[in-house]
Amino acid sequence: MNNILACGLKGLKEATARPKMVCVLWLANILAAFPLYLLFSSAFGGALGESGLAGSLASKTDMNVIFEVLTSSSDPLREVMIVALGLIVLYELAAIFLAGGILQTLLLKPERRAFAAVFFGGGGRFYGRFFRLSVSSILVWLPAAAVYLVFDLGLAAVFHDPNRELLGFYLVLVRIAFFLALVFLAKMILDYARIRIAVRDSHLVLSELLFAIRFVGRRLGRTLGLYYVLGFVGLAALALYSLADASFGKTAPGTVAAGLALTQIFILSRGWLKIAFQAGQLEFYAREIEKAGRRLQANPSPPSAVSLEAAQNSGRQAEKGFDQIQPGVDREAQKPEGQENNPDHRVEEKGQKSQRPAQDEQDQPQ
């Protein structure tokens, strides 16, 4: 538990130390959300006209008004929804680029190179690999969907009672909770796959995804613990935002401006938390691989020549803690993209010769 909290605190500290990256994520959210806001506001404004309902909808969400507009003005809104879907796809493509920039910046010490060169260089460097990882993620999402389907059918078969409405309500909550748990698990596996690709500068996307599945599966409690510790920080930020947003009305120009500023602070906090997730999981990954290397070295069983060499290489090259993972990255980040690299080169310290990496299965403690 102490290790989980330490990794979580490390992630929050690393995110706090990088305000430029937080601002880049905030700007990306603004650029994605502003066109959507204009599209929907113009569509609803055209449907409602200059009415009190339009003014009310501009200050708060009214689902009754929204459903009324959707049923009475479906044709123009259908076009808006198509455009909105296209913008969402573009944002997801941009998010792949941002993920590469985040990991590259976390791996490189900020004082060594300019932030823009590191962040945008990382986004371009890993974009193709992270895009292929997104396509390969079907190997994670399909089993997750199958597990949820089995769970839902089993729940319906065991607790089916149409006369007990309260039971049905609780079962809906259980279904939602289980669905979200599977989504978070899948997202966490993809996070570790991206970390593995970035740390090793690997082009073997499918292999690293399978490694991430094994890595999480063998440490399920601890990886989920870290994920939910940081998730609770996000829930606390959401609760504070909701309380502050509900504490004043949005009728006067001053309160409207205050509400807008509060919303932007909340969006900044989301970007800050995204970086904290990546940094905390990167620290956890580094500690676990280092621990695996120490166990290989301390293995008392008579090793074969191959396993002995792997253990020695693992001890010399095992990924260190977060502060030690960075020094060997700078010269490798400057190599041409097509140059073949030692898979573990991004975690070597400066001046250390390249060694053959330990086999993946040997890096994993039970």
Q: Each residue of 88-97: pLDDT tens digit?
A: 888 899 999 9
Please count the other Cβ atoms lying within 10 Å of the Cβ belonging to residue 102: 28
Tell me: pLDDT of 173 over 70.
yes
Distance (Å) of CA 73 to CA 29, 43, 66, 70, 239:
28, 9, 10, 6, 35
Confidence at 251, pLDDT banded by 50, 70, 90: low
CB 263 within 8 A of CB 270: no
CB 258 within 8 A of CB 39: no
> Is the overall model pTM greater than 0.85, yes or no?
no
Report the share of the chain in percent with pLDDT over 70: 66
Confidence at 45, pLDDT banded by 50, 70, 90: low
Confidence at 36, pLDDT banded by 50, 70, 90: confident
Tell me: pLDDT of 303 over 70.
no
Q: The tokens of 241 are what? A: 């935002």
Residue 338 is predicted with a pLDDT of 43
Tell me: pLDDT of 334 over 60.
no
Tell me: pLDDT of 61 over 70.
no
**Domain total in the chain:** 1
Residue 75 is predicted with a pLDDT of 58
**What distance in Å separates the CA atoms of residue 48 and residue 52, rounded to the nearest whole number?**
9
Which phi and psi (to 5°) does residue 112 adopt? Answer: -75, -35
Is the dihedral angle over the CA atoms 356, 321, 199, 207 positive or is it negative? positive
- Kindly report which listed range (21-35, 56-70, 163-177, 221-235) carries the lowest average pLDDT score: 56-70
Tell me: pLDDT of 313 over 50.
no
Amino acid sitting at position 348: E
Residue 343 is predicted with a pLDDT of 43
Give the chain's mean pLDDT: 76
The single residue listed with the structure tokens 């994605």 is: 32
Tell me: pLDDT of 238 over 50.
yes
Residue 122 is predicted with a pLDDT of 92
Residue 342 is predicted with a pLDDT of 44
* Residues 113-152 pLDDT 10s: 788 889 999 999 999 999 999 999 999 999 999 999 999 8
Does residue 235 or residue 73 have the better pLDDT?
Answer: 235
CB 29 within 8 A of CB 270: yes
**What distance in Å separates the CA atoms of residue 25 and residue 35, rounded to the nearest whole number?**
17
* Residues 13-30 pLDDT 10s: 999 999 999 999 999 988
Q: Could you tell me which residues come within 8 angstroms of residue 366 by beta carbon, excluding any fewer than 6 positions away?
A: 218
Distance (Å) of CA 217 to CA 186, 209, 210, 326:
11, 12, 11, 27
- Kindly report which listed range (186-190, 225-229, 347-351) carries the lowest average pLDDT score: 347-351
Tell me: pLDDT of 35 over 50.
yes
Long-range contacts: 178-186, Cβ < 8 Å, 24+? 178/148, 178/151, 179/148, 182/144, 182/147, 182/148, 183/144, 184/227, 184/228, 184/231, 185/144, 185/216, 185/224, 186/137, 186/140, 186/141, 186/144
**What distance in Å separates the CA atoms of residue 286 and residue 281, rounded to the nearest whole number?**
9
Confidence at 254, pLDDT banded by 50, 70, 90: confident
Residue 48 is predicted with a pLDDT of 52
Domain span at 193: 2-363
Distance (Å) of CA 184 to CA 151, 177, 188, 226, 231:
17, 11, 6, 12, 10
351 in the Ramachandran plot: left (φ > 0), alpha (ψ -120 to 50) or beta? left
Q: The tokens of 335 are what? A: 């190599």
Does residue 133 or residue 352 have the better pLDDT?
Answer: 133
Confidence at 243, pLDDT banded by 50, 70, 90: confident
CB 194 within 8 A of CB 137: no
**What distance in Å separates the CA atoms of residue 180 and residue 11, rounded to the nearest whole number?**
23
Residue 2 is predicted with a pLDDT of 79
Residue 186 is predicted with a pLDDT of 95
Does residue 119 or residue 345 have the better pLDDT?
Answer: 119
Confidence at 72, pLDDT banded by 50, 70, 90: low
